[in-house]
C-alpha cells in the first residue's frame, strides 16, 4: 500500500460486485487496488426493529460477498464499529505506520434519514483526512431529487400516479436507458461465478494490515456471527448475488402471468426478490434490464421507489403519520389483542394464515400484508407503528421505506393512502383472493379438513376444528374505526 494509489469501497446496502457503479469507479481510479469494508455497529443488535432472521440472512450475504471479492483477488473486512470511528482508527494507524492513506473512498447512496446523517459525518471526516469521496446511485433507478413536478412545486410527488407517470417517461431518456443497459454483463458475471472462473480483477487485500499486531480490527466478526445463530428459528433462504440471479431466472417462467397471479397468495406468482433487494444483492435496474420492462411488474418496483422518495422528502415519516391530523388518533392499543394478532389466533383464517406465514418463513405475500395491516389498524384499532415494528422484527425483507409506506397506506395515515372510509373486509378479501382456501389451509393446519365455507363465513361454527371464534365483529369495528378518523 505504501506510496501507491489505492482505494476503499465502503459497502452498505450494495452488497454485490456486478453493476456496483461506485465500486467500479474506485476500481478504475485506483488501478484495481481497491478493497472493501463493511462497518457493523453491534449496538444495532439492540434496536427495537432488529430481526434475528434478517440479520442471519444479512450475515450470509456478507459471507458470499467476501468470498466473491476474494475469488477475484480482492477482500472485504467487516468491523464492529461506527463508520466514522472505524475510518478514523484505520487512517490513524496508517499514518503512524507511515503507510500511504487511500486516495479514494466510495459508496452507493442511501436515502433513509439515519443513513443521510451518517454519510454526512463520514464525508466531513474524509475531507479532514484529505481523501476523495465518490458516491453513486445504487438501489434506486431514479433518485428522489431527479423529479420535476409539472406544477413547478419542487421534486416531491405526494401521489403515486403522477409520480409513476414521470418515472415511466424518464425511462425513455437516454440517460436512464443507459443506467439500465449498463447491466448487460450481469448474466455473464453470474455464469462465471457459478463456474468458478471469475477473473482476478482486484489487486489488494487486507492481509498485510491484519497481520500487524496493533491494527485496530481483526477479521473474525463474520465467523463469530455465522456461528452464533441461536435465535434463528426458521429456515433462512440462501443469500447472495448468485442466488438472487437464480430467483430472477425462476421467476422468468411466471412473469407473463404476474398481472393475474400476483394478488393470489396460493399462486406463488410473485418474484420473491425483495429479500435480495434489501441488501443490494440485486438492484431494481438489474431486474428491469432482465425483464425488459414488463409493465405491471415494473409498476411494483415504482411503488418501492415512490416510498423511498416519500421517506427522503419527509424523514419525520419514520415516526409520524404523513397526514399530520391523524397523529392525534386515539388508537385503543389493546395489548392482548395485539398478541393474538401476532400469534395468528384471531379467529379470522386469512389473518391467521398471513401471520403464521410471517412467523414461520420470515416473508408474507403482499396482498396478505395489506389485509393483516388493515385488520390491525381498522378492526383491532391498534396503532400502525406497533404492526410496523413487528413486521420489522420478523421480515427478512424488512425495509424502512416500503414497510412504513405499506403500513401508513393500510392505516390511511400515509402519503396517497387507502381512504379511511374504505375498510378491507377480511372475509370478502379471503373469499376473493383465496377462494379455494389453499393458502389458508397451508398455514392454518387445524382447518385443513374444513369446508370452504368455514374459511370465509364469519358465522360458521369452526369449533369442531378447535379453531377460535372471530375475536371481533368486523362491521362493528369498521364503524368504530371510521369514527376514530372522523373525530
Ligand atoms: C404493510 C406492508 C408492509 C410491507 N413491508 C415491506 C418491507 O418491509 N420490505 C419490502 O421490500 N416490501 C414491503 N412491502 C411491499 C411488498 O409487500 C413487498 O415488497 C413484496 O411482497 C415482496 O415480495 P416480492 O419480491 O415477491 O414482490 P413482487 O410482487 O415480485 O414485486 C417486485 C418488487 O417490487 C417491489 N414491490 C412490490 N410490491 C410493493 C409494494 N406494495 N410497495 C413497495 N414495493 C413493492 C418490491 O421491491 C418487490 O421485490 C410491504 C407492504 C405492505 C402492505
Q: Would residue 117 count as lying in a domain? A: yes
More confident residue, 436 or 293: 436
Percent of the chain with pLDDT over 70: 99
56 & 116 share domain: yes
Amino acid 59: pLDDT: 95
Report which of 21, 13, 302, 72 is spatially closest to residue 186, judged by C-alpha positions.
21
36 & 148 share domain: no
pLDDT in tens, 281-334: 999 999 999 988 778 899 999 999 999 999 999 999 999 999 999 999 999 999
Averaged pLDDT for residues 177-183: 93
**Residue 403 pLDDT greater than 60, yes or no:** yes
Q: Give the contacts of 172 (CB within 8 A, at least 6 positions apart).
A: none
59 & 187 share domain: no
What is d(CA 355, CA 362) in angstroms, rounded to the nearest whole number? 10
**Residue 423 pLDDT greater than 60, yes or no:** yes
Q: Would residue 25 count as lying in a domain? A: yes
Q: Would residue 50 count as lying in a domain? A: yes
Residue 303, ligand 1, Cβ within 6 A:
yes
**Residue 226 pLDDT greater than 60, yes or no:** yes
Which residue bears the cell 415494528?
389
**Residue 105 pLDDT greater than 70, yes or no:** yes
What is d(CA 303, CA 270) in angstroms, rounded to the nearest whole number? 15
* Other beta carbons within 10 Å of 114: 11
Amino acid 26: pLDDT: 98
* Helix, strand or coil, per DSSP, at residue 195: coil
176 & 245 share domain: yes
CATH assignment of the domain containing 64: 3.40.50.620
pLDDT in tens, 341-357: 999 999 999 999 999 99
Q: How many domains does the chain have?
A: 3
Contact 289, 142 (CB under 8 A): no
289 & 419 share domain: no
Q: Would residue 71 count as lying in a domain? A: yes
Averaged pLDDT for residues 217-234: 89
6 & 102 share domain: yes
Amino acid 100: pLDDT: 95
Amino acid 367: pLDDT: 98
Three cell numbers, residue 102: 487511500
**Residue 389 pLDDT greater than 70, yes or no:** yes
**Residue 2 pLDDT greater than 80, yes or no:** no
21 & 67 share domain: yes
Q: Would residue 339 count as lying in a domain? A: yes
**Residue 358 pLDDT greater than 70, yes or no:** yes
What is d(CA 8, CA 33) in angstroms, rounded to the nearest whole number? 9
Amino acid 322: pLDDT: 96
CATH assignment of the domain containing 158: 1.25.40.80
Q: How far is the CA of 366 from the centre of ligand 1 (A)?
A: 6
Report which of 422, 369, 417 is spatially closest to residue 397, judged by C-alpha positions.
369
Centroid of chain to Cα 272? 11
DSSP assignment string, 418-486 = --TT----HHHHHHHHSTT-HHHHHH-GGGTTS-THHHH-TTS--GGGT-PPPSS-HHHHHHHHHHHHH
Amino acid 286: pLDDT: 96
DSSP assignment string, 1-64 = -TTS--EEEE-SS---STT-HHHHHHHHHTTT-EEEEEE--GGGGGSTT--HHHHHHHHHHHHH
* Helix, strand or coil, per DSSP, at residue 297: helix
Amino acid 261: pLDDT: 96
From 282, 313, 344, the end of a domain falls on: 313
Which of 271, 274, 433 best tests ligand 1's pocket when mutated (most atoms within 8 Å of CB)?
274
344 & 420 share domain: yes
Which of 354, 373, 402 best tests ligand 1's pocket when mutated (most atoms within 8 Å of CB)?
402
From 137, 167, 186, the end of a domain falls on: 137
CA distances from 337 to 36, 256, 376, 403, 468 (A): 46, 41, 9, 22, 13
Contact 395, 358 (CB under 8 A): yes
Q: Would residue 454 count as lying in a domain? A: yes
Q: Would residue 213 count as lying in a domain? A: no
110 & 251 share domain: no
76 & 102 share domain: yes
From 267, 293, 313, the end of a domain falls on: 313
Task: Tell me phi and psi for residue 347, to 5 degrees.
Answer: 85, 5
**Residue 3 pLDDT greater than 80, yes or no:** no
Q: Which domain covers residue 88, as residue numbers? A: 1-137
- Name the average pLDDT for the chain: 95
Which of 277, 279, 397 best tests ligand 1's pocket when mutated (most atoms within 8 Å of CB)?
397
pLDDT in tens, 48-103: 999 999 999 999 999 999 999 999 999 999 999 999 999 999 999 999 999 999 99
Amino acid 266: pLDDT: 97
| pTM of the shown model | 0.97
Q: Would residue 230 count as lying in a domain? A: no
143 & 112 share domain: no
pLDDT in tens, 228-279: 888 899 999 999 999 999 999 999 999 999 999 999 999 999 999 999 999 9
Residue nearest atom 35 of ligand 1, based on CA coordinates:
301
Q: How far is the CA of 56 from the centre of ligand 1 (A)?
A: 20
Task: Tell me phi and psi for residue 450, to 5 degrees.
Answer: -80, 150
Amino acid at each position: 500500500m505504501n506510496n501507491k494509489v489505492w482505494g476503499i469501497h465502503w459497502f452498505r446496502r450494495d452488497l454485490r460486485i456486478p453493476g456496483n457503479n461506485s465500486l467500479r469507479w474506485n476500481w478504475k481510479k485506483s488501478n484495481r487496488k481497491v478493497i472493501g469494508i463493511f462497518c457493523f455497529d453491534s449496538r444495532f443488535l439492540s434496536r427495537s426493529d432488529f430481526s434475528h432472521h434478517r440479520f442471519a440472512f444479512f450475515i450470509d450475504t456478507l459471507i458470499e460477498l467476501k468470498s466473491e471479492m476474494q475469488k477475484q483477488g480482492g477482500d472485504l473486512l467487516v468491523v464492529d464499529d461506527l463508520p466514522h470511528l472505524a475510518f478514523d482508527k484505520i487512517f490513524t494507524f496508517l499514518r503512524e505506520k507511515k503507510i500511504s492513506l487511500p486516495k479514494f473512498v466510495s459508496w452507493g447512496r442511501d436515502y433513509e434519514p439515519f443513513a443521510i446523517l451518517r454519510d454526512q459525518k463520514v464525508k466531513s471526516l474524509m475531507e479532514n483526512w484529505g481523501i476523495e469521496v465518490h458516491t453513486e446511485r445504487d438501489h434506486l433507478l431514479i433518485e428522489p431529487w431527479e423529479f420535476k413536478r409539472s406544477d413547478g412545486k419542487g421534486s416531491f410527488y405526494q401521489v403515486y400516479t403522477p409520480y409513476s407517470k414521470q418515472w415511466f417517461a424518464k425511462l425513455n431518456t437516454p440517460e436512464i436507458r443507459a443506467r439500465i443497459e449498463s447491466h448487460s454483463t450481469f448474466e455473464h458475471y453470474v455464469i462465471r461465478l457459478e463456474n468458478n472462473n471469475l477473473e482476478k480483477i482486484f489487486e489488494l487485500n487486507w492481509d498485510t494490515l491484519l497481520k500487524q499486531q496493533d491494527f485496530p480490527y481483526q477479521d473474525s466478526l463474520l465467523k463469530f456471527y455465522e456461528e452464533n445463530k441461536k435465535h434463528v428459528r426458521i429456515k433462512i433462504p440462501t443469500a447472495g448475488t448468485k442466488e438472487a440471479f437464480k430467483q430472477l431466472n425462476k421467476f422468468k417462467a411466471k412473469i407473463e402471468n404476474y398481472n393475474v397471479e400476483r394478488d393470489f397468495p396460493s399462486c406463488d406468482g410473485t418474484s420473491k426478490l425483495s429479500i435480495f433487494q434489501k441488501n443490494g444483492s440485486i438492484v431494481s435496474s438489474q431486474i428491469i434490464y432482465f425483464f425488459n420492462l414488463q409493465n405491471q411488474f415494473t409498476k411494483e418496483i415504482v411503488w418501492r421507489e415512490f416510498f423511498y422518495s416519500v421517506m427522503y422528502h419527509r424523514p419525520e415519516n419514520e415516526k409520524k403519520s404523513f397526514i399530520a391530523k391523524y397523529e392525534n388518533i386515539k388508537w385503543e392499543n389493546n395489548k392482548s389483542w395485539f398478541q393474538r394478532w401476532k400469534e395468528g389466533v384471531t379467529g379470522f383464517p386469512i389473518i391467521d394464515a398471513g401471520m403464521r406465514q410471517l412467523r414461520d418463513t420470515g416473508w408474507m405475500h403482499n396482498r396478505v400484508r395489506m389485509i393483516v395491516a388493515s385488520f390491525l389498524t381498522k378492526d383491532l384499532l391498534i396503532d400502525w407503528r406497533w404492526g410496523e415494528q413487528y413486521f420489522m422484527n420478523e421480515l427478512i425483507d424488512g425495509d424502512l421505506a416500503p414497510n412504513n409506506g405499506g403500513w401508513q397506506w393500510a392505516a390511511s395515515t400515509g402519503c396517497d393512502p387507502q381512504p379511511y372510509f374504505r375498510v378491507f373486509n377480511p372475509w370478502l378479501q379471503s373469499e376473493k383472493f383465496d377462494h379455494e382456501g389453499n393458502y389458508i389451509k397451508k398455514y392454518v393446519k387445524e382447518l385443513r379438513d374444513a369446508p370452504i365455507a368455514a374459511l370465509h363465513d364469519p358465522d360458521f361454527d369452526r369449533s369442531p376444528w378447535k379453531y377460535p371464534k372471530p375475536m371481533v365483529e368486523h362491521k362493528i369495528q369498521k364503524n368504530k374505526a371510521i369514527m376514530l378518523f372522523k373525530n
